[in-house]
Each structure stands twice: as structure tokens, then as C-alpha cells.
Amino acid sequence: MRLFLIMATLFIMVGVAAAASDKSPEQPADITAFMSELGKKASEFRTLKTDFIQEKRMAMFKEKMVMKGRIYLQKPNRIAWHVDSPIRYSVLITDKLIRQWDEDTNKVQEISLAKNPIFQNVLNQMNVWFSGDYGSMLDSNSVKIVKREPLVIEFVPKENNIAKKVVKSITVTFRDDLKYLRQIRIQEHSGDVTTINFLKTLLNPTMDNSSFEVKGRV
């Protein structure tokens, strides 16, 4: 169930982004070129470590759900999410498999992506999002600049985007240096809103295999 929730969040993240604003700034004459140039700035790293705080407000409830943890990325195809609170849970995603561990069962489960094409599709889109290849997202999303400083971009899913059934919009805010994301805010058609803030982000940190271990995290 936890894997489903995290994968659902990731799936939503990779396809779309949007934000509301009364006054939109002037749009680039060539949005494709703009996104490609942005992607170059945001892809000049091989490894990444960042803390995150994820808050989810559900339309049905007044209370919000808060998760805190860390993300590790190693290009081209290793991403690990480690949730530290309120539960301890880890998931590793590569181009071949998904491994997950949770504190409740203290067991590691492994899923082959070859037998799960949906997860494989999610991984492919995740790599696009986290690696900075934003230009490739134009085929399945409408794009608009919402704010220049800090840069906030609106991606709205097109009809051919499977995420359109779930997501209404997401706001993506970049760091001042444009090299990575500061925040993602996901708004669903159901009224649920998820906000993910990235903190203490390090580009090209030294990493070893322990960063991608999914069992016995401290």
C-alpha cells in the first residue's frame, strides 16, 4: 500500500505542473527552446541528495498528512526514496526492478519491472523529471511561465497524458540558480493538494551503495 501511494505521487509528479496567477509574465517566444535551455541548466549533475517534506491535504479531512525523508539519485537510472517519519520506509527504483522495505514488516519486497510495464512507464517519466529533460514534457503537457523570480512553470496535461484523469494542476518552483527544484505543488481533481519541498539539496555529492540500501535505514 505504501509503495502504491509513493508511486502514485511520483507518477503525478512526472507528467504535469501548474499554478494560479492573476497576472502572467510575458511568455517566451519559443517555449520549446526555453524549456530545452532550462533543462540544460538543471541536468548538469550526475548524483543528487536532497531532503524533502511532503504535505498532503485531503479534501475530505481537515488534518494534513506530513512525511519527511531523503531522496538519492544517481544517473542514469537509480532513485531511492527514504521516508523517516511518521513511518520508516524505503523504496529503490532502477531500470530493472523496484525494491521496498518498511519498518512494520521489516521485510524487503522486490518487483520486476519487466513484468510491470506500468511501473516501467512511471520510471521512464521519473527519469525525465529528475534529470532535467523538461523539453521532452511538451508533447504531453501545455506549458506556461507563471512567475519569473523565482521561476514558476505551469504544465497542464493534454488529452494524451494519462495523468490528466487525476491531476488538475501542479506548481513547480525552481531554485534561484535554476539548477534544481525548490517545490512541487500538486492539485488533484478530487480537491486533494500535495506539496513537496526540497531542502538541503546537494548536486554531485559523493555517494556509495548504502545510499540506495532499502533495509535497516537509520
| 3-state class (DSSP) for residue 7 | helix
For the chain, give every domain's residue range. Answer: 2-212
Q: Does the predicted TM-score (pTM) go above 0.85?
A: no
Cα–Cα distance, 68 to 76 (Å, whole number): 25
The pLDDT confidence band at residue 152, using thresholds 50, 70 and 90, is very high
Residue 109 and residue 102 in contact, taking contact as beta carbons nearer than 8 Å: no
pLDDT digits (tens, 9 = 90+) for 31-90: 888 988 888 887 788 899 999 999 988 878 878 889 999 999 988 888 899 999 998 999
CATH 2.50.20.10 fits 2-212, yes or no: yes
CA dihedral over 8, 13, 15, 18, signed as positive or negative:
positive
Residue 123 and residue 110 in contact, taking contact as beta carbons nearer than 8 Å: no
